[in-house]
Amino acid sequence: MLVFIFRRLLVAFSVAITVSIVSFMLLHFSGDLAVSIAGPDSTAEQVEQIRIDFGLDKPVVFQYFDWVWSALQGDFGRSYYFQDSVMSLITERMPVTLTLGAVSLALATVVAIPLGVIAAIKQDTWVDRLALTIACVGQAMPSFWFALTLIVIFAVNLHWLPAGGSSTWQHFVLPAIALGYYATPAMMRLTRTGMLEVLGSDYIRTARSKGLSETSVIFKHALRNAVIPVVALAAVELGFMLGGSIVIESVFSLKGLGQLAWDAISRNDYPVVQAVVLIIAVFYIVLTLLADVLNAMLDPRLRVR
């Protein structure tokens, strides 16, 4: 198990280094950062002074290592637009995004896994077709359109929940439903496929021949193995939620990392963009690593890969 974890750590570290290089270089390839910071009305002398002040006159390799070294110490520089420490901005906004992602994933899991199990048990019945229809609609429907529909129904017409903000738990209900429904179809379909495969295996037939109850066969024997790939998918979906929450946060006016990234991109605030991309990528890598370790604990056969 320790060897397996060590190999996964090496892979995670390699991916983190690659992401940091790509995110750093993409912003530098987008154009002259000094000109973007100075603005269109700046003079050549002002642009040159900004290039010196922000270290943009150094070779790109030295700029990268300076940025990585500072980032490892928790210093991502200072925001050009907000005129504040980038780390302070991220620390302030991160709880909103993490709360939204965790609640959305919990909601998706609570809905998707039972629905997938029921669809597998009731294969080729109206229940199965209804579950697959829900999955198809969730995959085809744009998240922003679904979010606006929720606002119109539950906030504007029924006045049950607030349309925006993040001051109370009620403000997270509609965003969590909108974002959670995005992850539900994939998790439900994977649970259904896994259950169908496991229910047709020999050890399930043996368990039934021993006289075990159907509930015990399904939840104690079948679901344990069928849910293994769902664990990895859940980690991936949470990473997607953290990185893709920019649309939902914008619709519901949630001041999270997604909204911060949007504001930074629209205002050419490169230190903030770099920091947000790197932090979300690290979250994604850590979640994937934890999913691999948890899957290895559930299924020892995975440790030899």
pLDDT in tens, 234-257: 777 777 777 667 778 888 888 888
Task: Indicate the DSSP class of residue 112.
Answer: H
Q: Could you give the CA distance from residue 94 to residue 243 in angstroms, rounded to a whole number?
A: 12
Q: Of the candidates 111, 178, 97, which has an alpha carbon nearest to the alpha carbon of residue 145?
A: 178
Let me know: does 188 contact 119? Beta carbons within 8 Å. yes
Task: Indicate the DSSP class of residue 301.
Answer: G
Q: Of the candidates 120, 113, 149, which has an alpha carbon nearest to the alpha carbon of residue 229?
A: 113
121 vs 43, more confident: 121
Copy the structure tokens of residue 153: 């129904």
Calculate Rg over the CA atoms of the chain.
Answer: 24
Predicted TM-score of the model (pTM): 0.75
Domains of the chain: 94-266 (1.10.3720.10)
| Range with lowest mean pLDDT among 117-126, 128-137, 163-172, 205-214 | 205-214
Let me know: does 296 contact 3? Beta carbons within 8 Å. no
Let me know: does 260 contact 224? Beta carbons within 8 Å. no
What is the overall mean pLDDT for the chain? 79
Q: Could you give the CA distance from residue 23 to residue 15 in angstroms, rounded to a whole number?
A: 12
pLDDT in tens, 160-180: 888 777 778 888 888 888 888
